[in-house]
Amino acid sequence: MGPREMLNKLKWGGEDELQSAKVTILHRGAPNDKRVIEGNDILELGRGFMHVASPDGEVEIPYHRILQIEARGKILWRKT
């Protein structure tokens, strides 16, 4: 299962699990080149990108930049 499938599972699994998720992405220039996106900032899960709300407006983040997905304090998916 890849990151897109895991995020869709959280979105459609009920109990607003996507809202409570934390998604760590590769973000060049950030501390340790990582940034954590809160699930409630994810606006849409597209075919190749997730659409995320940011202070600069909506941005597209490709799924291949996702390093880790966690929810409820558990790591559900990690890039190997």
Domains of the chain in sequence order:
3-78 (2.30.30)
d(CA 20, CA 78): 17
Residue 15 vs residue 71, higher pLDDT: 71
Q: Are 62 and 14 within 8 A, CB to CB?
A: no
Indicate the pTM of the whole model: 0.90
From 11, 6, 27, 19, select the one nearest 75 (Cα to Cα).
Answer: 6
* For residue 15, pLDDT beyond 90: no
Q: What is the pLDDT of residues 16-65, one digit of tens each?
A: 789 999 999 999 888 889 999 999 999 999 999 999 999 989 999 999 99
Indicate if the pLDDT at residue 14 is higher than 90: no
Q: Does position 10 have pLDDT exceeding 90, yes or no?
A: yes
